[in-house]
Amino acid sequence: MNDSNLKYLRAINQQLGGAIGQAVGDGMAGRLLFCTANLLRSLIAEQQGYSRPVGDTTSRIRDLTPQLRDMLGDSNEVCHLLDTLENSAVQEQHFFQALAAVAGLLAGRQDNGSKSLLAEFVAWDQQRWTGVEHDFNALSLTGEEHLDREVEPITADELERLKTLLRQHCGEGPGLQVSHVNAIAGGFSKQTIILTLEGNQHLPNEIVMRRDRAESPVGSTVLDEFQLLKTLHAAGVCVPQPFVVDASGVMGCPILIMAKAAGGNIGDVYNIHAPSTLSTELATGLARELAKLHQVSIAQLPSSLPGTDSSHKAFLRQEMEKFQRDWLALDQSSVTITVAFEWLFAHLDLLGDRRCLVHGDTRFHNILCQGDQVTAILDWELAAIGNPARDLGYAYHHIIQFADWQQFLDAYRDAGGTVPSALELDFYILWSDLFVAIYMYRARESWLSSSGDNIQLAYAGERLRQHNMQLLSTRLNGLLAKYSVTQ
Q: Is residue 145 part of a domain?
A: no
- Judgement on whether residues 232 and 280 belong to the same structural domain of the protein: no
CA angle 111, 114, 119 (to 5 degrees): 125
- Judgement on whether residues 340 and 476 belong to the same structural domain of the protein: yes
Per residue in 325-380, pLDDT (tens digit) is 999 999 999 999 999 999 999 999 999 889 999 999 999 989 999 999 999 999 89
Sign of torsion over alpha carbons 367, 368, 369, 375: negative
Q: Is residue 138 part of a domain?
A: no
Q: What is the mean pLDDT of residues 140-168?
A: 68
- Judgement on whether residues 236 and 281 belong to the same structural domain of the protein: no
Q: Is residue 126 part of a domain?
A: no
* pLDDT grade for 216, boundaries at 50, 70 and 90: low
- Judgement on whether residues 362 and 217 belong to the same structural domain of the protein: no
- The CA distance from 186 to 150, in Å, is 8
Q: Is residue 207 part of a domain?
A: yes
* pLDDT grade for 23, boundaries at 50, 70 and 90: low
Q: Contact at 8 Å (CB) between 193 and 215? A: no
Q: What is the mean pLDDT of residues 122-130?
A: 90
Does residue 322 carry a pLDDT above 90?
yes
- The CA distance from 283 to 400, in Å, is 9
Does residue 26 carry a pLDDT above 80?
no
Q: What is the mean pLDDT of residues 416-430?
A: 97
pLDDT value at residue 240: 94
- Judgement on whether residues 364 and 420 belong to the same structural domain of the protein: yes
The CATH number of residue 299's host domain is: 3.90.1200.10
Q: Which domain holds residue 26?
A: 3-48
- Judgement on whether residues 286 and 198 belong to the same structural domain of the protein: no
Burial of 2 per CB tally in 10 Å (0-12, 13-18, 19+): exposed
Does residue 53 carry a pLDDT above 60?
no
- Judgement on whether residues 402 and 325 belong to the same structural domain of the protein: yes
pLDDT value at residue 143: 42
User: Which segment of 19-33, 202-216, 438-452 scores lowest on mean pLDDT?
Assistant: 19-33
DSSP 261: P
Overall domain count for the chain:
3
pLDDT value at residue 182: 84
- Judgement on whether residues 287 and 207 belong to the same structural domain of the protein: no
- pTM, rounded to two decimals: 0.84
- Judgement on whether residues 376 and 321 belong to the same structural domain of the protein: yes
* pLDDT grade for 149, boundaries at 50, 70 and 90: very low
Q: What is the arrangement of strands in the sheet containing 206-212, beginning at the earlier edge strand?
A: 177-184, 190-198, 206-212, 255-259, 242-246
- Judgement on whether residues 279 and 247 belong to the same structural domain of the protein: no
The CATH number of residue 164's host domain is: 3.30.200.20
- The CA distance from 122 to 354, in Å, is 31
* pLDDT grade for 214, boundaries at 50, 70 and 90: low
Per residue in 164-195, pLDDT (tens digit) is 999 999 999 999 999 998 877 655 567 888 99
3-state secondary structure of 116: helix
Q: Is residue 353 part of a domain?
A: yes
Q: Is residue 439 part of a domain?
A: yes
User: Considering 210, 227, 259, which residue would you say is the last residue of a domain?
Assistant: 259
Q: Is residue 119 part of a domain?
A: no
How many other C-beta atoms lie within 10 A of the C-beta of residue 465?
20
Phi, psi of 289 (to 5 degrees): -65, -40
